[in-house]
Amino acid sequence: MLTKKANQILIFGILSIAFSWLPAAGLILAVITFILFLSDKTVKSSMKAEIGRTLAIIGLIVNLIAIAYVLLFMPLNNAPSGLISLRESFYATSFYSDFENNFITEDRYNYIFKGLVVTFEVTLFAVLLGIVLGVIVALVRSSYDTMKDELKGGFGKALLYFFYKLCGVYLTVIRGTPVVVQLMIIYFVIFASSNNKIMVATLAFGINSGAYVAEIIRGGIMSIDKGQFEAGRSLGFGYIRTMAFIIIPQAFKTVLPALANEFIVLIKETSVSGYVGLQELTKGGDIIRSRTYSAFMPLIAVAIIYLVIVMFFSWLVSLLERRLKNSER
């Protein structure tokens, strides 16, 4: 019964957002979701129900904005005199004048929209690159720390020691210099002949993120009890198979929330991409400011968008942490 009701809440929450093109219907679906969620206290312990409620909150906000947009901006036939008077009063305010000048005139809202797409694009590929680099560096450093006493002298130990030191230099340099300086060096020095700014930004943020991901993952690996290594050896696994099938899965589960937080940090770090002329979200707001000579509204809009994104992903991280805690019981 609990699972069935949780599924209903989740479905209605999804539909409240899906029906945003019919804001009245979406609003009703969001209200139904809240009623279902509040009508049974036991369902609050279900993750599906909580996700459905959160989706309903998002749907409620989206549908209220859509209804306000329809009432204030869309042409309406046979509109009531009160609504017409409300529209005229709203259009006469300085707020609407600034809003129109910053976002509606010449479709300037596209600077924000296109910038948001670029921000997510750079962040996604940078995170993937950072995870790959981080895993490699973490494995090299943790392998040397674990095996340096077991390995006998020779080419293998010397090679592992060389990569261990190389990874140490990488971590020291990347974590010791600002990301904006790294971005400018990669764009103006290393890839001076390239016009692919998204690729350059992805490399810069991915390399920077990889240094922090490496230490996160290495910490997770080193937190696993040494008995787990011995258990793998007793099963006939070599070092590589022990790491792949026993150690890394446990470590990854431990560090997953920290990796998710690194993703959130990376989203905000991409705001410096404008230094190389990449039109991401912050740069989009700055372009509007340069056209309208009005700083407040475009920059506040950018700040609100970043805040909403960070709050949303922070909520996802909190759900992930709860799920991991429940799976440990």
Query: Using CA atoms, how far apart are residues 323 and 50, in angstroms rounded to an integer?
Result: 12
End-to-end CA distance of the chain: 23
What are the tokens at 285? Answer: 């707001």
Query: Per-residue confidence at 83, pLDDT binned at 50, 70, 90?
Result: confident
Query: Per-residue confidence at 248, pLDDT binned at 50, 70, 90?
Result: confident
Read off the pLDDT of residues 88-147 as tens digits, 9 standing for 90 and up: 888 888 888 898 899 888 889 999 999 999 999 999 999 999 999 998 999 888 887 777
Q: Give the pLDDT of residue 329.
A: 54
Q: Are 262 and 217 in contact (CB under 8 A)?
A: no
Query: Per-residue confidence at 2, pLDDT binned at 50, 70, 90?
Result: low
Helix axes 23-38, 2-18, angle to 10 degrees: 160
The candidate with the shortest Cα–Cα distance to 197, out of 84, 280, 133, is 280
pTM score: 0.83
What are the tokens at 184? Answer: 């400018």
Q: Give the pLDDT of residue 62.
A: 87
Q: Are 262 and 130 in contact (CB under 8 A)?
A: yes
Query: Using CA atoms, how far apart are residues 56 and 87, in angstroms rounded to an integer?
Result: 28
Q: Are 108 and 294 in contact (CB under 8 A)?
A: no
Helix axes 296-328, 281-292, angle to 10 degrees: 160
More confident residue, 245 or 2: 245
Read off the pLDDT of residues 39-64 as tens digits, 9 standing for 90 and up: 877 777 777 888 888 888 888 888 88
Query: Using CA atoms, how far apart are residues 28 and 18, in angstroms rounded to an integer?
Result: 12
User: How many CB atoms are located within 10 Å of the residue 36 CB?
Assistant: 21
Q: Spell out a b/e string for 178-201, using b for 16 or more CB atoms within 10 Å of the CB, else e.
A: ebbebbbebbeeebeeeeebeebb
User: How many CB atoms are located within 10 Å of the residue 238 CB?
Assistant: 10
Q: What is the mean pLDDT of the chain?
A: 85
